[in-house]
Amino acid sequence: MLKTILVLIFVLCGVYLAPVNFKEMGDENLISDVDVIEDSIKEDLSESPTRVKRFNAKKHPYLRWPNKTVPYWINMTFYTSEHVQQIEKAMREIENVTCLKFVGRTYQHDYVTFTGNTKRCVSQVGRNGGQQYIRLMPTTVETNCFRLGSIMHELVHTLGFYHTHIGTNRDDHIKILWENIDPSRQNDFKVFLKSDEVDDFGLGYDFDSILQYHSKAFSANGKPTIVVKDPNIKPNRMGQRKSLSRGDVLRIRKFYDCDDEPNI
């Protein structure tokens, strides 16, 4: 009888008191940015995430990195010194306009590992707890996953931000042309998050965001998959992978409560 009671107490505590197990979130928390891969290797990138979730900042403080600091480790099995320099250059770009710091991991429990055992550019959203990954396919620097903006794209995901085009307000600003999307990639265009789960910090839709897909992302026929509703906005503003937009900087700073004046 006592054993039965103890088991029941354990089950109840597991249901009501246990913290979120981030490692069990799995593919629901993965972000794939394979739209930046050149067409010559897209045929190798057919895997489709299960219920992929993305947007801007999620309203859960546990996804933020404590003390505005992201510890990291780079797996040199896959990368050269040039790759390391490019990764750290992307980090400096973010540090220069925010209050965040990326530091080499020493003893920290929660940290990011950069690894190249992939044919994709992929990251998790926010701090997940323990070791988590940014997977960047090793390529020549300034191509594919190792374009500076592509690395920054994945780093911003790691800071807790989702793709712009799946925001709950997206239908006010863009139209998704489902008939032109590769059927295996349609999950990348679905809005899975609810309006009370995300926050754009009052900054509105950002066509210039480094997290915005370009107009022909995952097109099955070469035609646009995303069109802008406002005729005064040029579609080529979408999908840039050169730098953080002003909106990206302000959202990161608001999410992490940066107090200093932005250097933008």
153 is in an annotated binding site: yes
Q: Indicate the pLDDT class of residue 12, thresholds 50, 70 and 90.
A: very low
Q: Is residue 165 part of a domain?
A: yes
Range in 20-24, 215-219, 254-258 the model is least confident about: 20-24
Instruction: Supply the pLDDT for residue 220.
Output: 96
The residues annotated as belonging to the active site are 154
Question: Could you say which DSSP state residue 239 is in?
Answer: T
173 is in an annotated binding site: no
Domain boundaries, position 144: 20-255
Q: Is residue 11 part of a domain?
A: no
* C-beta separation of 169 from 163 below 8 A: no
Q: Note the pLDDT tens digit of each residue in 133-162.
A: 999 999 999 999 999 999 999 999 999 988
Entry pTM: 0.78
Q: Is residue 151 part of a domain?
A: yes
Q: Note the pLDDT tens digit of each residue in 68-101.
A: 999 999 999 999 999 999 999 999 999 999 999 9
What CATH number is associated with residue 119? 3.40.390.10
Q: What span, in angstroms and rounded, lies between the C-alpha atoms of 66 and 122? A: 22
* C-beta separation of 208 from 244 below 8 A: no
Q: Is residue 3 part of a domain?
A: no
157 is in an annotated binding site: yes
Total count of domains within the chain: 1
- Residue 115's SS3 state is strand
Instruction: Supply the pLDDT for residue 203.
Output: 73
Q: Nearest CA to 36 among 142, 154, 189, 150?
A: 150
Q: Is residue 4 part of a domain?
A: no
